[in-house]
Amino acid sequence: MAWALAAVGALRRIARATTSTPKRVVATAQGRRCLKSSKVDLQDGAAGATSTWTQTCKDSWRTFFVYLGANGLSNAMIHPFQKLDYGALSLLFLDGRSVENLWWGTRLEHLIMVPALLTICGGFADAFWKSIGMDLFGISAKTMSFATTPNLYLVNLYAFTFCAVWLFFFQHSRLNPDLEGNRCEFLRSKLKPLATGMGLQWHAPLMLALFRVGKGRLNFLRETAAIAFVFLPVKALGFEDFQENGLSPHERRLNNLHAV
């Protein structure tokens, strides 16, 4: 009798084990599928973030070189026949121009720093409007352009270019050793021409449309030329950098002009 009861108990335990095993198997299989799905999602997210970051870097470098080319081209348009002080780069010119400073106070500093700061400030402005700016101000347009949001487009243009150029003058006044003892006066002297020059960019949409920027081949060159014509009145009228008026003392010596 005892052995019969033991056999029945063993059979019951076997039955319970066989009935619960499929549940554990199913649960384990579901867990593995969920884990695999999570890994795939994480990999897709990482790949998407990497792709976005790579594209952002490419766009930023392209924008920088557009501003760089436009800055140099506008200098050539304003001073077509004058020798300009490009600091260390002046050593590459074959006209024998002398070098007084390698960086500070030369057009090389402006040539590099202004496009870099315009790229950074423009990138921050675009990110702000895309992330929270449009919703914050109740703007229904999905993208900011002169066609969809003309007023906002111009305000954004004035704001980020003003910030970028002001930052250029700020770092120049803080770091240029030649301005020791005259840093605040230099920075204050740039506020009025800065405000005047930034307000002369109203024709930027017209230039971009005239050069058909964003359409067809050679878009990089056409955009560079369009931005150069935007820079032209800013420099010539805002900062009075036109012909002999905008030359530095060293540049006047390079061109055999009397000091002013």
C-alpha span between 115 and 106 (Å, rounded)? 15
C-alpha span between 55 and 67 (Å, rounded)? 18
Confidence of residue 142 (pLDDT cuts 50, 70, 90): confident
Q: Is residue 90 packed enough to be buried (19+ CB in 10 Å), middle (13-18) or exposed (0-12)?
A: buried
State how far the alpha carbon of 133 is from the alpha carbons of 122, 140, 142, 152, 162, in Å: 14, 11, 11, 11, 19
Q: How far is CA 83 from the centre of its chain?
A: 31
Using the structure block, give the residue that is written with the tokens 């780069």: 89
**Beta-carbon neighbour count of residue 245 at 10 Å?**
11
Helix axes 107-128, 2-78, angle to 10 degrees: 140
pLDDT at 107 (0 to 100): 96
Residue 143 · residue 186 · CB < 8 Å = no
**How much is the pTM?**
0.81
Q: What are the pLDDT digits (tens) for 94-136?
A: 888 899 999 999 999 999 999 999 999 999 999 999 888 888 8
pLDDT at 26 (0 to 100): 46
Q: Which of 31-35, 74-78, 191-195, 199-203 has the lowest mean pLDDT?
A: 31-35
The 3-state DSSP class for residue 2 equals: helix
Confidence of residue 66 (pLDDT cuts 50, 70, 90): very high
Q: What are the pLDDT digits (tens) for 213-225?
A: 877 778 999 999 9
C-alpha span between 245 and 260 (Å, rounded)? 9
**Is pLDDT larger for residue 250 or for residue 145?**
250
Show the tokens assigned to 139: 């703007």
pLDDT at 137 (0 to 100): 81
Write the CB contacts of 257 (distance below 8 Å, at least 6 apart in sequence).
244, 247
Q: How far is CA 135 from the centre of its chain?
A: 22
**Is pLDDT larger for residue 227 or for residue 41?**
227
**Is pLDDT larger for residue 173 or for residue 9?**
173
Confidence of residue 3 (pLDDT cuts 50, 70, 90): very low
Q: What are the pLDDT digits (tens) for 144-197?
A: 888 889 999 999 999 999 999 999 999 999 999 999 999 999 999 999 999 999
C-alpha span between 260 and 246 (Å, rounded)? 11
